[in-house]
Amino acid sequence: MAKSIHELVPGFIRELDPYVPGKPIEEVERELKLHAVKLASNENPLGPSPLGVEAAHKALGDANRYPDGGGHYLREKLAARLGMRMNQLILGGGSTELIDLAARTLLNHGDEGATSAGSFPMYYISIRAAGAGLVVVPQREHAFDLEALACAVTPRTKLVYLANPNNPTGTMFTADALDAFLVRVSDSVVTVLDEAYYEYIDRPDYSRSIECVRQGRNLLVLRTFSKVYGLAGLRIGYAIGPAALLAEMNKVRSPFNTSGVAQAAALAALDDAEHVRRSIASNRAGLAQLSEGLAALGVQHVPSAGNFLLIELDTDAKPVADALLHRGVIVRPMGWMGFPDAIRVTAGTRPEIEKFLDALGQVLPRSPKGVTRGRPEASGGPGR
């Protein structure tokens, strides 16, 4: 008798919780028959880089051809900008593919991978999908506890994932804290540092990650064109790391893993300084608007270095998110990422944030002193 699919799939795969993508705005508008604003997925509210869009249109004319499998010209430009060698750069389908690729390259059965609780789920999924043991260290004040993570490293640990700033809390650690962590962990450990939001941060103590790679540390730095460049839908990112590690990752990397259209758009977007400037300014203004509006409503949030806020409601966040959805505002309830009483909200445009704050004020019950955190009123619509 043929084995069932359940029997054929390894137990460590069957036990995985899948990554849950945000609800597409088109689906919400189709279901509820209303115009919605999407503040759930940390996307760039200004749209994609205009220079990137123009280059993508031109590249579509060659869509019948396979792309440059190594992304030569994009890696060449990145290497020149970063002061690295081309063999220290690898492209991926956003940073998410590179997260998975690092685990598949480095981990084996019996190994361990470590990361923080309350962080990007692809770290946990990638470690467990490689058949390795998963070590999760609790956060400290909504942030990575680097000291506790260093203590959790054992001879079985081969890989550690760090996010700076962290998603979904938005907290960051300093360059000195990273240096201290790298000194403490063994040379047998590769640290993967996810810097998806690094362009938004203007602090001199934020990151010296590229210099750490130049110094020969076992460090793989991930960056993406999804955020400040607005190319999330094209799925393209890159990693900077030791040439020997990237050579091994290239052995298991899928051929043509980034499209010619994505490569062309990213190459052009690197020169779109005006779009980057506008995106950073918009994000700074959006975070300030969100913070001020939430303070007026009496709602707490975690200060963020990214392009989003983790908003704490002191109640089950899912009904609140559902009530907001029925008012045409898509936010992300964070129970599946370990924060059942919180929602994550992207720093959108001024009108989008105004709509969110107005809807949140309607959803949360009021008191004589204003809005208190609590369960949504019945008028918020049915739960899902």
Bridge-based pairing of strands 332-333 and 342-346 is: antiparallel
C-alpha span between 160 and 151 (Å, rounded): 12
Closest by CA to 242, choosing from 272, 273, 276, 209, is 209
Contact of 39 with 348, CB cutoff 8 Å: yes
In this prediction, residues 217-223 reach a mean pLDDT of 97
Residue spans per domain, the chain: 5-47+274-380, 50-269
Which residues have C-beta within 8 Å of that of residue 149, sequence separation ≥ 6?
Answer: 114, 115, 116, 137, 160, 162, 181
In this prediction, residues 60-71 reach a mean pLDDT of 96
Residue 18 has pLDDT above 50, yes or no: yes
Closest by CA to 304, choosing from 356, 263, 254, 342, is 342
Helix and strand counts by DSSP (H, E) for the chain = 15, 15
Considering the domain 50-269, what is its CATH architecture? 3-Layer(aba) Sandwich (3.40)
Residue 163 has pLDDT above 70, yes or no: yes
- pLDDT category of residue 11 using cuts at 50, 70 and 90: confident
Q: Any idea how long the chain is?
A: 384
Q: What is the DSSP string of 189-231?
A: -EEEEE-TTGGG---TTS--HHHHHHTT-SEEEEEESSSTT--
Distances (CA, A) of 73 to 69, 244, 269, 283: 11, 21, 13, 30
> Could you tell me which residue, 354 or 29, shows the higher pLDDT?
354
DSSP code for 164: S
> What pLDDT, on the 0 to 100 scale, is given for residue 32?
62
In this prediction, residues 160-189 reach a mean pLDDT of 96
Residue 382 host element (H or E): none
Alpha helices in 47-192 (DSSP H): 50-59, 72-82, 94-106, 121-129, 146-152, 175-184
In this prediction, residues 64-83 reach a mean pLDDT of 97
C-alpha span between 290 and 81 (Å, rounded): 34
> What pLDDT, on the 0 to 100 scale, is given for residue 9?
73
Average pLDDT of every residue of the chain = 91
Residue 373 has pLDDT above 50, yes or no: no
In this prediction, residues 226-251 reach a mean pLDDT of 98
CATH number of 5-47+274-380: 3.90.1150.10
- The position carrying tokens 């290239």 is 250
In this prediction, residues 82-89 reach a mean pLDDT of 98
> What pLDDT, on the 0 to 100 scale, is given for residue 317?
96
Lowest mean pLDDT segment, chosen from 31-45, 52-66, 215-229, 231-245: 31-45
Residue 369 has pLDDT above 70, yes or no: no
- pLDDT category of residue 374 using cuts at 50, 70 and 90: very low
C-alpha span between 120 and 94 (Å, rounded): 14
pTM reported for the whole predicted model: 0.91
Taking the CB of residue 351, how many other CB atoms lie within 10 A of it? 10
In this prediction, residues 19-25 reach a mean pLDDT of 70
